Structure 1
Amino acid sequence: MILAAGVGSRLGKPHPKPLTPIAGEHTIMDLQLRHLSDRFDSDLISIVVGFKKEMIMEAHPGVSYIYNDEFGDTNTSKSLQRALRLTGKDPVLWLNGDVVFDPSVLEILQPYIDRDQSFVAVNTESVSDEEVKYTLDDRGFINEISKQVVGGLGEAVGINFVGSSDKPFLAARLEDCEPQDYFERGIELSITRDRRKFRAVDISAARCMEVDFPTDLAQAETTFADLS
C-alpha cells in the first residue's frame, strides 16, 4: 500500500509529490512500484490517492486505487485507516508516497513480513525536529514514535508493516486519531493501549530517504542517480 493522497506543499510542486522525477526520467512512484512489483504480486499493490488523483492514475493504470476524498482535511492516519478497512484480514505493508529506497531495503524487511511480525523500518542517523523519531523498550520494540519524541534513537523512514493479529487494533486506533494526525499516532496508541508490539527494523545499511523539501530532492537526485 502506498499512501499518496497528500498535497505535498512543502516540496512546492504543481503535481502530486510521488510524480516528482528523481532518477533521470523516473519518478519517486516509478521506483517504488518497480521495487515492489519485483518482489510481490503486482495485483496486491494499491495506492491511496487524493490530490490530483487523475495524474497518478493515468501514470500508473496497472494498480488498484483507494480514494481519500477528504485529503484536504485529513492526514496519513485517515488514508491508512481507509486502506486497512478495505483489505480485510490480510497483513499490510505500507509506505509513504515520498519514500525513495534501494530494493535491498525490502530484502532486509522480508523475514519480518514472512513471520507476520508488525514493524517500523528505522535508521539510526541523527534526525531533525521535522522527522518522525522513535524510542525503544528494553526488548527492542517501538515505545514512542512521533515528531515530538525527545531523545529519539533515529528516524522512522516511512515503510511499515502490520501483521494480521495486530491489524484490527491498529485500524481501531486510527479511527481514534484526529483528522490531522499522522499514522504513527495510531501505531503509538495501539502500543500503549492495546499492548501491540511493533519491531524496529534497522535498515541503515541501505539507502532510504523521504523527500519533503527541495533540499531533500536535490540530495535524492544525487544519491539515487544510479537507479535511472
Structure 2
Amino acid sequence: MLGMVLAAGAGRRLRPYTDTLPKALVPVDGETTIMDISLRNLAEVGLRDIVIVVGYAAQAVHERKAGFEEKYGVKLTLVHNDKAEEWNNAYSLWCARDHFAQGALLVNGDTVHPVSVEKTLLAAPETSDILLAVDNVKKLADEEMKVTLDEGGSLRRITKLMDPAEAYGEYIGATLIRPAAAERLADALKATFERDPQLYYEDGYQEMVERGETIHAAPIGEVDWVEVDNHDDLAKARTIAVRY
C-alpha cells in the first residue's frame, strides 16, 4: 500500500502565499508546511512509498522532493496533473490511477490533521474496499463535504450541497483505497470528470454508490483538524499544527 497526497490545486483564496507555491507548501508551524504534516503522518504509519499529485506550481514540489525524502525517510513519486488550473480534483485523482491500483491511503494536500486519522483508517475492519474518514462531532456549515449513511452504515450521499442538519458528518479528506476498488474507482472518476470537469473526486465516490458499490465511513472521534481553504482556515491551522 502507498501513501498518496493530492496537491495539485492553486489555492487562490490563500494569495499572496500561493502566488508562487501550491497550497500544500504553505507554512503552518514555523517552516513546517501542510505537506510536511501529510508526509510525516504517512511515514509514521509505515507508508514509505508516497505518490504526490502535483499541478499548480509543481516546480516548487520538485525542488523540495529530495529534502522531503531525506527528512521523512520516504520515496516520493510525483504525478503531474496537466489540467490542474482548469479542472477540479476528480481528474486529479484519476491521474494517479495506476498508483492507487496498489492500494493507497489518500490524503488531501490542504488538510492539517493528526496521525490518529491515518491510524483510524488502517485499524478499521475490512468491511468495504473504500473507507472514508469522517468527523461526526464537528458542527457543520455549508462549505463542508458532508455525508449521509444508510441504516446499515454505508455511504448514501456525499456532497457539499446538503443541509447540514441532514448530515451524519463531514468527510475530512482522507480515504483508504484497497486494491480491489481501484479499477472501479478509476472508471467512476472518469465518468465524473467527463460529465463535468469541475466535479470533485468525492463525486466519483457518489458515482460508485449509485452504481451499487458499498463505501463505509470511519469516525475519527474528537480531533482538531482543518481544511485550509482561506486565511481564516490558515490561522486555525497555525494554532493546531504546533500541537502535533
- TM-score bracket, normalised by the shorter chain, equals over 0.9
> Quick check: 1:66 aligned with 2:79?
yes
Contact 2:226 2:236 in 1 (8 A): no
State the partner residue of 2:101: 89
State the partner residue of 1:192: 210
Tell me the distance in 2 between the aligned counterparts of 1:82 and 1:113: 28
State the partner residue of 1:18: 24
State the partner residue of 2:219: 202
Contact 2:225 2:237 in 1 (8 A): no
Unaligned runs of 5+ in 1: none
State the partner residue of 2:175: 160
Compared CA separation, residues 88 and 146, structure 1 to 2 (3 A): closer
| CA positional deviation for 1:165 | 2.2
User: Which 4+ stretches in 1 moved above 6 angstroms?
Assistant: 113-116
CA RMSD in angstroms comes to 1.7
Tell me the distance in 2 between the aligned counterparts of 1:114 and 1:65: 29
Unaligned runs of 5+ in 2: 70-75
For structure 1, which segment, 109-118 or 162-171, has the greater mean C-alpha deviation from structure 2 after superposition? 109-118
Deviations 1:31-88 (A, max 9, x none): 111111122242x20100000101012122331100001111111100101111x226
SS in 2 for 1:172: helix
- One-letter amino acid of the counterpart of residue 126, structure 1: K
Residue 51 of structure 2 is aligned with which of 46, 51, 59? 46
SS in 2 for 1:40: coil
Map 1:1-228 → 2, pairs under 5 A: 1-12=4-15, 13=17, 14=19, 15-42=21-48, 44-61=49-66, 62=69, 63-84=76-97, 86-87=98-99, 89-112=101-124, 117-124=129-136, 125-150=138-163, 151-177=166-192, 178-193=196-211, 195-227=212-244
Q: Which TM-score applies when normalising by structure 1?
A: 0.92
SS in 1 for 2:161: coil
